[in-house]
A and B are shown apart, each in its own frame.
Chain A
Amino acid sequence: MNPLAVLGRTVLAALAAIGRIALFGADAVSHLMRPPYYTREFAAQLLNIGWLSLPVVGLTAVFTGGALALQIYAGGSRFNAEAVVPQIVAVGMVRELGPVLVGLMIAARVTSSIAAEIATMKVTEQIDALVTLSTHPMKYLTVPRVLAAVLVVPFLVGVGDIIGIFGGYAVSTGTLGFNAAAYINNTVNFLEPHDVYSSLTKGAVFGFCAALMGCYHGMNSGRGAMGVGRATKSAVEGAAILILAANFVLTGVFFTL
């Protein structure tokens, strides 16, 4: 077996997969621009992706914010910079950890659920049934999920940012001896509108990636239980990688260019 041939085939397969996902995404966006719109399905997805994700987002953010405060305090104390805890927690949560953690939690919770649901629908011929009932699967299944994720994940990121900062505040004022009023004052004064915009924009992009990967892998799943399992696994892996890659690009765009 020629190792170069194997490498070549792998690269070509990866590029082909990226191309298929890009075309699927473009198709989803084009359907988003044209009626009919299924408002009930869209509302159900807003509830499922947004409201029902709040507990996991909140818990993830509060523990991360608390741990971040402890780490910054411990690290800062090596060069007498313990006082920067409020500022670093705020900027760390809002610019980076809030959007990324919410994105990854959405990938775990929502992408997997979308992929498994759509893949099961494919295996049980429900998608064929949709077509015979004059309903385009892209409009009925993909558009409501992608649109709901794009709109609601920024909201979740905002909530995650606030709860994460609160986690840092609780640990700092409760165990590290920070003054509560000074902590809030430092946090508010340090954050800039640009930080918040970038956080929410990242949320929208991550929501798009998470829902799109769930729909793509669900629609293209193989047969049987193994096909559904593979589709779910590939969707979560793909969404996580896409979110982290998009985060790198967006961070570059927002904060270095």
Chain B
Amino acid sequence: MQGEEIEDFGSAAAARRRGALSALGMPCLVLGASYLGFGALIRESHLGLDAGLASSIAGWALPGQIVLVEVIAAGGSVLSAALAVLLTNARLLPMVASLMPILRAAESGKPRLRHYLIAHLIAITGFAIAMQRAPRMTPAQRLPFYEGFAVTLWSTTILATALGFFLAGVMPRPVTLGFVFLNPLYFMLVFVADLKHRLRAWALIIGAVLGPSLHLLSADWGLLATGLIAGTIAYGIDAAQRRRHPGWRR
């Protein structure tokens, strides 16, 4: 990258601590607020706190967790729940596939247990921040940084699920709605920084335009179609521009 300094934390342990510190602050605040909402949703859907905690621990990815609760509340079948969660969470595959090579740049060979474990904690917040910051870190410190970041964020959301469960109905309605809206606002602003990358910029812009339109066509398949269509168009534009300016790497 042009003139950007390499971040070196000194050791893997220091990188893990810095990752944890980076999560405390906006990421924990925003995602914590969203999980307060999830905890309240669990209570309002007449589910137990154990179900809410199990969901945040074992099925950590908020859009899929909300869809699951909606299917349960609507009395849908287990099969329909599986399909709804699969379609909602399909984004996790390209996210993990594109972030993992950056996190394990220091090593080669097949992925190990450590990589399969940390993949459980790859979700939007960590993905967005690691895609921006990790390429500038010393390769051997990227995975420890991410582990510190993601474990801190995950623990916060588990606590927030419980807190939200107990606070359900206590907070004024406009404040609850403001909390729920924090999440998309935060991600929108985080992704503004990615507009300087040509490939990501095209994918973000075309995806943002297609997403709502295709959702209207099919609430189930819209998001998957958005990813495949907008992603492929963005890839094509980027590839064409690469051929025209072979020296320009971005």
User: A and B: partners?
Assistant: no
